[in-house]
Structure 1
């Protein structure tokens, strides 16, 4: 059924109370077509010709992959030389770190925060379409919640765990920082009945989030906003909850942002963070570790290199109480999912390079796919060595 023909608001449903086998429970364990929206089913597995799927996952707010692929492919096909050049130039910020302000100024100038924001718009304006050619349209590798499940299913399992962790219920207002194309917000609204307000620095993604939201008939809203430009455009005590997924390495001043979040959240509201961290095993004086970090940060789009303690202290200083701080992945390792995504995009790269060679695709496709596929195995190695993770979870109140 075409969403243009009929949009049906979801019946509010509480997130499934699925127990995901082996999930760590404490910090000691390290123009898309959509179907009619409906509440999630009870937790169970089902088989189909593609293998096992979680029957509990409500997939009705997910776009058809083929439609998303071709829409993004067309966008990439029509990129201007300036868009391609700006995208490639934006990677300079991932060789920097918020902790080294001197290097920031030397490289970008005294207005480096504005320059970082400009780079992020150039970067994400193209990257979101590259990611949509595969299973990472939401632009994050999720925690490994189930070893049998796909990247996409692990994303949705994690998102439903967020709704449980922050206690979302029908009618709640929840803030999503770094909302991307609004796909996570759509899933969150469908499984919980909450209304999501999404913030993102990239106008291209915000426009897509609004379009998708209208198609599926939800009441979410989306605003262009740089998290480093405060205050946030909301009154005190506006939101019942907050979540973000892998966005905070782009924040220059975590204590200030968390203080601002506390202002716009209602008393007692819970927040969920999932983010990139360096772990105790990482040693910046170790040449191998430093080289792996140099290669991995551009791949995942990280500016800062926080530790779990960085987040915990900034939250405490802003008046939050940390309720949970752990790695959300089974055994604290994401590598199987990182590798799945890497294998897919490297295979796609071979197809694209072949089509460029015979002039069926313009040369800039080679430039883009080569950059996207660079150093995926460095990320796998860092995760396997437990030097870093992008699946570190903190729940606070």
Structure 2
């Protein structure tokens, strides 16, 4: 589907250059996963759900979030890219990552956080990702940044990684393990490859304690987040805590960074709730509802005139639907994308 688009520097142009027939087929496949609310079926097909999603979403994500596909806290007048980097620095700080450590990034996307953490700490980061397109873009960006001596990438399923036991000094995951069919199983993989005494940290997407599974409005928001973000089945905060402990970790720290009382909420880029002067900041306009509607219209026109691959407008609507539900979940306080857990693997 991607042909040579992995080498295209402009994510918008990469989006338009996809093979038409393949793009249409992948779109049909992804939408098909959501014809009925069958989470068990999506769990069984988690690799296909995630791969289809990121084959379609990666370029659009880059349009709004550059090379770091995650949310963050915001300080007043803080640019988006600076906030994203600070979020990554905080994770490295909480893990006590040091120079020359070998660190695993589980579900590394196109490598933005891996490059930032490696440059910030002078550690070596190995990124794991099962999506070949994202790996290609990650390698290209890393070489361009001159960080290929510190950051490398492996195409691998994080549910069954091929690394030997006790391989890494530290392991982290940033909003990626939500795509796993089982949090306990994916955390067990982190535990296995981590050296005794090492630290595992994860920013997890979870439904908060305010979420009521018997409330139809809450359930609709949860499904909207799942569908718009390629998630087989999203778990609760309580489930995530139980899973990390069951995997063998000693949970040393847990906090919901969405509950820090910040004046600017994590979902501000999606809701368009930045101060007026911030609209020129990278991504601050294009990620908003207005920006998404504008892009959807543009892509519909381009698709009509066969200047964009078939199905691209439909997927843009899917992503926008997911973003709307992320905002609803954030405002209702029933969802957080950055529940931070820090666990320690006991010494032998």
- Tell me the TM-score normalized by structure 1: 0.73
**Equivalent residue, structure 2, for 1:194:** 123
Deviation at 1:152, TM superposition (A): 2.4
**Equivalent residue, structure 2, for 1:10:** none
State the superposition RMSD in angstroms: 2.6
Question: CA deviation digits over 1:117-140, x for unaligned, max 9?
Answer: 123222211211111122354322
Asked whether 1:256 is paired with 2:256, we answer no
**Equivalent residue, structure 2, for 1:346:** 292
Q: Which has the larger radius of gyration?
A: 1
**Equivalent residue, structure 2, for 1:216:** 145
Asked whether 1:78 is paired with 2:10, we answer no
The CA distance in 2 between the partners of 1:193 and 1:257, in whole Å, is: 27
Deviation at 1:171, TM superposition (A): 0.4
- Tell me the TM-score normalized by structure 2: 0.82
Q: Could you say which structure has the higher helix fraction? A: 2
Deviation at 1:222, TM superposition (A): 0.6
What 5-or-longer segments of structure 1 have no aligned partner?
1-30, 33-66
- Count of residue correspondences: 318
Q: Which moved more, 1:169-178 or 1:295-304?
A: 295-304
The CA distance in 1 between the partners of 2:299 and 2:145, in whole Å, is: 36
Question: CA deviation digits over 1:24-57, x for unaligned, max 9?
Answer: xxxxxxx89xxxxxxxxxxxxxxxxxxxxxxxxx
Matches within 5 A, 1:22-41: none
Choose which of 256, 266, 269 in structure 2 pairs with 1:334. 266
Q: Which moved more, 1:83-92 or 1:178-187?
A: 83-92
User: Does the aligned pair in 1 maintain the 2:300–2:313 contact within 8 Å?
Assistant: no
The CA distance in 2 between the partners of 1:383 and 1:118, in whole Å, is: 28
SS in 2 for 1:75: helix
User: Does the aligned pair in 2 maintain the 1:145–1:158 contact within 8 Å?
Assistant: no
Matches within 5 A, 1:1-397: 68=9, 70=10, 72-79=11-18, 80-93=20-33, 101=40, 104=41, 113=44, 115-140=45-70, 142-218=71-147, 219=149, 220-228=151-159, 230=160, 232-329=161-258, 330-331=260-261, 333-340=265-272, 341-343=287-289, 345-346=291-292, 348-349=294-295, 352-353=298-299, 355-356=301-302, 359=305, 361-362=307-308, 364=310, 365-397=312-344
Question: CA deviation digits over 1:291-349, x for unaligned, max 9?
Answer: 22222222233222212222222222222111111112332852323324233642541
The CA distance in 2 between the partners of 1:134 and 1:394, in whole Å, is: 26
